[in-house]
Amino acid sequence: MDGVSGIGTHPRTSSDDIFQSSSHAWREAEARTAVRMLSNGRGQCVLSIPDLRCGGCVATIERALNARPDVASARVNLTLKQTVVTFADADTDPTSLISALTLLGYPAIPADQDQSHEDDTDTVGRGLLRAIAVAGFGAMNIMILSVAVWSGAAGETRDTFHLISALIAIPVVVYAGQPFFRSAFQALRVRRLNMDVPIAVAVVLALALSLVETMRGGEQAFFDAAVTLLFFLLSGRYLDHLMRERARSAVSGLARLSPRGAMLRQSDGTLIYVPLSAIAPGAIIAIGRDERVPVDVRIISGSTDLDRSLVTGEAMPVPAGFGDTLEAGTLNLTGPVEAEVLRSADESFLAQMMHMQSEAETGRGTYVRIADRAARLYAPVVHLLALATFIGWVLATGDWHTSAFVAISVLIITCPCALGLAVPVAHVVASGRLMRMGILMKDGSALERLADIDRVVFDKTGTLTMGTLAVGFGLDDPALRTAAKALALKSVHPAARAIALSIAELPCQLDDAIEVPGFGVAGCIGGRAVRLGRADWVADISVHAKGRASPVFAFADGPAMSFDLTEALRPGAVDAIKSFAAAGIPVAMLSGDIAARANSIANQLDIADVKSRKTPADKIAALNAMRNDGFRALMVGDGLNDAAALAAAHVSMAPSSASDAGRTAADFIFLRDGLDAVPAAWRMARDTARIVRQNFALAIAYNCIAIPLAMAGLVTPLIAAIAMSASSLLVIGNALRLNRAAKPGQTPVSRVGGSEVPA
């Protein structure tokens, strides 16, 4: 009995409470796994926020999160409905932040636990379609009854029709209005306003006024207006949802390219299927034909052909075999291979692409800040305008019924959506278009800065050139080529490697090979001494090597063959320089190489402004001098020594072959070898800036025309609903024009292996 009594006096030890406590602890532990450590020791977490609606929501969340001491920065992506939070400490528990967002009216969960886009079922879209169907059905039936009233029905007949209309309208509004009522209630519950509050107020007021008129036997009731208004508002929201999904497809399309798991080889040699989260670096996986590579790997067995269009933008198959590295997302075309895992799934090439793509909207450029500020002021300004309109009409006419409907029109027609969508939708569409061209963008503000450049600065080695040597032969003799290749294969010198790669023939038998540092490689072929290296050293065994440019190959007392070594230009370099020159944008070269080699490349590309032997500090100083002179420079570089200059420039780009530091510092990364990606990105940035300006003009013109008309009583609530939806769709449709057919130098799209990829 004492034991029972003891249990009864400690209710916290009940099984339900124990379960709830353990469940809470489990959720906390799960949330902590969503925080990943950054290289600077900070932590980062991506949260999914389904209830994001407009720019005002973005501003509210960012203001609240950035005010927290444990948050270093927070950026919200409206299109993806996510926020990227950087914590001051990698060990920060995100559960308190999630709780704070919930109290603010925005329930959030870690993005990797959000299953809303895991399949092809669009639950939000289907819910809106059901609401539209109910509203449309109700509107048609009420309209039939309204026609009878308009045709002259009076007295009890009119009152009966009004009562039937009310019985139809009330459940229709309650069900179909849920998307607006739910959002408005969540906002009001935490004492804030959003764009759905005026809409919900307008619909409820229209229904309430009609009910009052019906109960008092009035001649006019506007149930048809209330329900039809809801029908058009829902139609606009559904079309807006469809266009946002289309804009979001760039990121979701990348996610669909990633397999859910892979065949992992066990210690006993058997293969088992495991999820991506269970694949660690060093593991061995099997990749079959027509399968996408799940993580970054290195082939250890087998050979195949690859579709690397996702990585390089080139659709031609590429052969691959032992030792070759494959990026996640690459499509294996012809043969099964086994490969060693190099990086985990969340650090793979495809994961980096998705992360950069999702960040494309988080930049805060000038236009974005203007739109956010306008959206933040929207709700209070609209309510004040509606109240002023109501009071003014009551004072002028004394008819509170008409005054209320004019105020409802003002509530509905004043739309911040067009202004709030002007920038983010254009940036998301542009980033998706750039990705299909093989160019990754880190944030929208970089796109805005790229459109403003008036100078372009290139590094030389690895940027204007491929960082490899091109080889020309001084004598076309197959016997000499095979002998030279045999010697070149024995050296690790870059020149020797370039010579070996440039000779297609198989090497001949070589004996007693030895590399002499600073001079070259020597050996014996068929009993005769041979050398490859510096001309004066080779001349010791062959007079034919005297006076030649290095490197030279020669047999003892025999013929010699010289090699002309030049740096290979990056494909598209000539056309890229010409594109900027034709646009009147000066091009300069900042190189750490000696003057002779820098000038040689500059002459080939017709670059007049060349600065050689520049250290990283010199490059930063040159870019700062340009900024001080009022110029906005685009820096294109690839090396570790370019990282600081890339960060210092007004905007920057780097090839995917750049160093880790260079890729981190750059605002854009182009995945294909061709340098034509640089002017292509610049053209896209200019087109996007033009679209953004057009969107702002459309949004401002709409509000400047619509609000005075509504306040003057010239717009009914129904027309206001149509106009509000049309303004948002017009802005989104204008942004989608960025997806037009490829321009010269851009990349068309094809379908490979069932997926849309760059061609």
Q: CA–CA separation, 477 vs 588, rounded Å?
A: 41
- For residue 667, the 8-state DSSP code is S
Report the C-alpha dihedral over residues 106, 111, 117, 119, rounded to 10 degrees. -140
Is 459 known to be catalytic? yes
Question: Taken in order 540, 546, 547, 550, is the CA torsion positive or negative?
Answer: negative
**What's the CA gap between 412 and 233, in Å, rounded?**
9
Q: Give 648's Cβ-side CA count (13 Å radius).
A: 20
Angle between helices 400-413 and 677-711 (to 10 degrees): 180
**Cβ-count burial of 69 within 10 angstroms (0-12 exposed, 13-18 middle, 19+ buried)?**
exposed
DSSP 8-state assignment for residue 364: -
3-state SS assignment for residue 256: helix
| Helix%, strand%, coil% for the chain, nearest 5 | 55, 20, 30
Q: In whole angstroms, how far apart are CA 244 and each of 80, 81, 293, 432?
A: 9, 10, 29, 12
Give the pair of three-digit tokens for residue 203: 């619909």
Measured CA to CA, the distance from residue 251 to residue 259 in angstroms comes to 15
Do residues 212 and 702 make contact, with C-beta atoms less than 8 angstroms apart? no
3-state secondary structure 293-328: CCCCEEEEECCEEEECHHHHCCCCCEEECCCCEECC
The residue annotated as part of the active site, out of 443, 459, 676, 687, is 459
What residues are annotated to the active site? Answer: 459
